[in-house]
Each structure stands twice: as structure tokens, then as C-alpha cells.
Amino acid sequence: MAERVRSEKDLVRRANRHLAVLRHAESISGNVAATCRYHGISRTVFYR
């Protein structure tokens, strides 16, 4: 059971990270390239 809780926490963390990147692109920068530089990810990762 403890393994499942850890997995759920990891999924939530990853989902929150993805949402933060998308929100940044949408409302703060309005620019995908700038958002990717800010978060240290490639544009390929962003679009995936």
C-alpha cells in the first residue's frame, strides 16, 4: 500500500509541474520558447 501512495504523490507532483509550465506559457510569458528557457526544458518536451 505504501508503494501506491508514493506513486500517486509522484503523479501529482508531475502533473502540477506540467500545469505550471503550461500556465506560465499561457498567462505569464505568452511565448513557448521563453517558457522553455525559464523552466529548463526543450520545446519538444513542451509540446509532447
pLDDT digits 0-9 by tens, 2-40: 555 678 899 999 999 999 999 999 998 889 999 999 999
Task: Specify the pLDDT at position 35.
Answer: 94
Domain count, the chain: 1
2-23 and 32-39 helices, crossing angle to 10°: 140
DSSP code string of 15-47: HHHHHHHHHIIIIII--HHHHHHHHT--HHHHH
Q: Are 21 and 46 in contact (CB under 8 A)?
A: yes
Q: Is the pTM of this model over 0.95?
A: no
Sign for the pseudo-dihedral over CA of 20, 37, 25, 11: negative
Cell numbers given for 46: 513542451
